[in-house]
Every structure is written in C-alpha cells, then in structure tokens.
Structure 1
Amino acid sequence: MTVTYSNAIKGMDINIKSARLSNGSAFPDAGSLSGASIPNENPLSGDATMGGAPDGRDLPEYVDFEWRESPRSPPDPTPMDPLSQAHKDWEKNMMDDFYSQPIKKQRVVIRNRVPAEVVNAVTGANRHSPSDQLTPASIEIFFIWTDNGIKLRWQIWHRPPSGIQYYSHHGGDEIVPAGTTMIAGYSNTTKNDKFTVILGGPDGAPMRYPASASGPYFSGTPGFAYTSRPIAGGERLVAFESEPELPEWVEFNWRLFPTSIPRKFLESDSAYAGRVSDVYDSLIKKHERILVRSRIPREVRDEITAATHNAEPHKVASSVIYLYFVWTDSGIKLHWRLKRSRPDKTFISVREGGDQVPQSDG
C-alpha cells in the first residue's frame, strides 16, 4: 500500500496533529500540507507520498486524524529584522493565532471501502515478486483534505519490469474542490486489455485550446489500463478546472503499450531495457484532436459559465461538468455529464450527452 496526502483547500495549510489506527498505533502522516495555490490544481497529484503495507492484505480498518487549519500566508507586515522585538512579537502573535484554531477530527474508513477485486488484483500481481525487490503493483490510497472534510480515493499503481508505469481500478469519494466547474477523466476500453494508453512522452503532453489560467497543458500524462466502466468509476481523473469557458478542443498524442513484456532467459538488465525501448519506438504513434465546446449544448455551457462566475471561496460550485475522454478501437470518444450541487455538498447528475461509449456493469 502506498499513501498519498493532498490538500485541496485554497489558501489554507493543513497541520496534522496525529493519525492513529484502530489499535491506537501511529499511522505515517505527512505532517503539514500546503494549501492549493495555483489555478486548476489537481488534488490527485499529491503533496506527499509514502510507503505503507506492501500489498492490499494489510489495509487498515480506518485512520483517525486530528489536524489544525491555518492561513497559508502569514499576516503582513512581517518585521524585517528577525532578531528585533517587533519580529518576536509578530512571531508570538502568529503562533498564538495558530494554536487558537480548533483541532478538527475525522475517522476515515478504508478497508471496507476498497473492493475485494482491487485487493485481489494487487496480491495476484505481486505473488511471484522476489522479496528483495519493489513489488510490481500496490494500492495507492489518497487522503485529500477539502473544504468539506477528508475524502478518500484509491487506485492500483502498476510498476512492471518494463519501467512503463500505469494505473487501474480507480474509485472512492467524488472530489470536487471549491470553485471547480469542470473535471476530466480518461478511460481505456480498447478490446486488447493487455495494452495501456501511454500519453505524451517525446510526442508531447495533452494540450488544450485556448490555454487555461495554468497554461496550455490539459493534464499530466498518466498511463491508464483497460476498464469496462469508462464513465461509471473506471475513469482516471486528470484535470480540475475553474475556467470561464470550456476548451474549444483538446489534442492528444499516444501509443498503446503492452502491460507486460516478459524477460528472456538470462537476459541482462541492459539488454532488457534496450528491447523495451525498441518495442516502444516501434509502436504506432497516434494523434487526435477532440472538439469539446461545440459538442456541448449552449444552455449547458451557459450554466457552467454562470457557476464559474458565481463561485464563492471555500464553497462547491452550483454546477460542474464532467468530460470523459474514452479510448476505443475507433478512436477517442467524448461523453459529458452535467451535475448540480445539493444542500449536503454532494452532486446529482441532471443531464448528459456526447458519444455513446462501451459500458459494463461489471
């Protein structure tokens, strides 16, 4: 198990006081987490990642967290001379203010929320792994601080001998940071499930037009494996935006890379690495530009624009649109889903459209 901590609260730092398991023992924590500070920050990119149990068999029942929240920036003005009495008084006032903040508590249940198929997939992948080597797969658990408490996400992180890492089996809480009005997910439904989609690399990362407040790149470049539920939990969430306009288009470069390249008998590390590189170079490079804005009905776009303009600090937006980019045997399909917030800060789907995509309930 790998644990990743993230803070999606804009302008607020998280200071973890304690993290304890059901038996009272300490659970490794990140200490402090800086608040989101750049536009369109992805809460699943993580602020701190650390190792945990080697596989899913030892998932904790729950973790009890205690923490304080404090403003990310200290109060101004800051006295320039650190040895002056004014600076000492300023520092004392800042610490007094910090310790005056209430200690917040939350129990995050883990074991009962991670499906058995996820645990079985990891233990199966690691069954023949040498004990002195990094296991080829692990469950990655995300603890994400939001304005509405700690949210839990999970996925399988694959690290095959080929060195091409990828992810599968995504799930957990819905993550909608305050003010976010567009979330994008990637899914792979190609019939040959022995391949994973590898984006970017020397061919370039996904791009959006026009550029957002954080730049022209649409997302990171994760590899993602086959799923039978591309718009129902199998997608990998990759982009969170609060832009006045949806992208006109998003452009992708990708290849389909084998999830496994077996080593030959007595093959050296250098020979194996060279063969993997040759396999990658021989793969067909694909490129596709997906129109987005023109595919969304005007009234839906207007609702998202209004939600962006009316967004309030530390509150979820009134509406959010999900864009699903689904890789199929006939190219990338776009499906969208409009959701509206409810009084309890959760979201309900009210409308969807776009391409029809392969979907299974399994």
Structure 2
Amino acid sequence: MHNKHPVDAATAAASVAPATRPTFARRQLLAAAVTLPWLGTLGTAARAQEGALRIAQSTALTGPLGDLGSAMHQGAKAAFAGINAKGGVHGRPIELVTLDDAYEVPKALANVEKFLAERDTFALFNCMGTPMIDAMLPKVNESGIPFFAPFTGAQLSRVQGARNVFNIRASYADEAEKLVQHLSTIGITRIGIVYQNNAFGKEVFTAARQSMERLKLPGAIAVTVESNASDAGSAAAKLAGGNLEAIVIGLAGKPTLEFVKAFRGLQRGVTLYALSVMGTQATVKALGPDATGMAISQVVPLPSNVVMPVVRDFQAAWKASGATAEPSHLALEGYINARVFAEALHRAGRNPTRAGFIDATWNLKKWDLGGFEINASTPERNASRFVELTLVGRDGRFIR
C-alpha cells in the first residue's frame, strides 16, 4: 500500500539539478557553506551537478519503523547538503537517492535490485533493518558493490571476508556488554533478562549472559517474548516475582511497549535497561510515564551534547538544512554515517572506483570525527565501539 510514495518529497528535491532548485534550497546550501567550517577539508570550488556521484538507499520512510528511517535519512541529507554546498568531494557533489521500503523485505529487495541494475549507482548507503539487510546481503556480496553503514547491530552483517560491507554502529552484543558492565560496576547482581524470541533477541541474551559469566555475576532469570507480544504479560509476571534489582531488555517494537507497561503495572522499583533500538522518541512517547527512569544504551553521542565537536557540527548542519524536527540520536547517526562516507570517498581520490573506495574505508584507522572514533579493523567487526548510557527524564528527553 506504500508503493504510491517510493521517494519522499525532500529526497526528490535533493536530486534535482541546482539550476532547477527553488531559491529556498539555494539559501539552505549557502547557509550550510557559511556555518560548517569542517567542510573546507572536503570541498573545492563547486562544479556542475552532471558530475554527481550517485549513492542509493533503501530504508523505511513509512510503516511501523518509518520514524527511525526518516530520522536517519534526514541526518544524512543534512550532512551531504553541507558537503555539496562547499563543492562536494574533490569538486564532485554526492547525490543520495532514497526509496521507501516501509520496513518490508520484498520492497527492500526490489529497491536493491533496481539500484544494482542502474550502472551509475556507486554504493548502497545506510540501508535499514536486520531482516531487510539479511535478505539483501546475498545480492550485495555477489555484486561486490560497497554496502556502507547498514543499520543493524546484528552479527549477520559483520561477515568475515566481506570487505565491501562496512559496518559503523556498535553491535547489539557491544550494547548488551556495556549494560552488564555498568550493572556490575554499581554493584547490582540480581539481574533479569527478557529477550525477543528471534535472532535479534537471542544475540542480546547470549552477549549479556557471556558478559555476566566473565564478570562472575550470578546467573540471570531469563524469559522470552514472542514478536507479536502475546506473552509479554506472563513474562512480566515471572520477572516481577523474581526479587530483581534490574532487567536487561532485548526487545524491539510492540514487545517492548507491552512488556514495559505490564511490568510497570506490577512493579515500579526495578530499573529497566534497554538497547538503542528501543530508544526512539516514538517509543518513549508511547510509554509515557512508564519510560521515566529507563536506562538506554546509545551508539552515538547525545545530540544535545555540544561539548563534542561532532555534535556542534551536526547541529549546525541540521539548522542549515531547514529541518524542523528536534535532533535525535538517529538523525545524528545518519549524519555521522554520511560524514564517514565522505571521508572515505575523499581518500579514494579524484576518480574513485568502487575497489578504491572499499580500500579507503579499511584505511580509516583511529580517525577522530570530533569525539567519535572510527577504527576499521576487519569485516567481522564494526568500525565504532562507541556505547554510552542515557536515562529517560520525566519530560521524556534523554539525559546522561
């Protein structure tokens, strides 16, 4: 039912040649050029749009996780708009073409097949969703196209020897380990784990259990929840009766909402710890007061933490882009992904090939993007290990 809107209006506007863009868009580009001083390292004098390097993205702009995909997409566009305003990379603008897959595997596969059939598609960028990426990978690996910054923390995208697949965000295992380490540090030992009865949930559970074993913590009480959340209430009841101090939540989407509401209805004195996939504004809003006090791991910095240079750059780009939504972790993640892509493209030289670009990504060693480090090692490891904990305040905002 989403086929009528394969490309959002903002994306379509971004792909129009400069000569046909409205005056407002010109003003946005000029504003970006003035407010983003870091761009001087990437751009030269502006050239005509005909030389644009085209990258493609399939993501959810509508559907159950449309808020996630849209936020990341807007963050990436803000970064690319600023880069293009200063002449692009080696004088060549970057054109991001995005198709909506509504978080549906068949649509995502159709989008990728379309992109792969178009010879001017240089790379796939920031495609979203574990099920979608799992389905895309055989085609991606067969083609050899750069598959840059897929949005998943699952190990399935971290494939040994797959040099064309470049993961940035910390993995679900990294996040789970960070949560358990924090609990150990503050002396909490009575821990429960609730996890989704699918590959995602099992990865979280396995990582949390292994971390607890390394830290010599007592075994956790563990329960599962089906993806339709039909047993969320019974899982909550079991953990509520377990005399626990904290619960690690390996859930996403509806199971998160149903479990947290059910558990809070039974017990309110236990701190709940969740992963970044739970920590969207839409989920926090849906939970209302039940979200207050939850601890959530994040794989990028707090988007209001202007002490970090990368956040200041992001905020300037966000403002220059004309975005009206409040900056979010997901928007910052999209922005960071775009900046890293541009850096690798810069290192690939004036006439980049796919092979040269892939080599350049793996040469990003201990590169500091204003407080956010990229350290490429091997395809089975993500290039960022950044994980920090945030709390949900009474107003629904994230605080450190």
Same fold, judged at TM 0.5 (above): no
TM class by smaller structure: under 0.3
Pick the structure with greater CA Rg: 1
Richer in strand (by share): 1
TM-score when normalising by structure 1: 0.27
TM-score by length of 2: 0.25
* Structure with a larger share of its residues in helix: 2
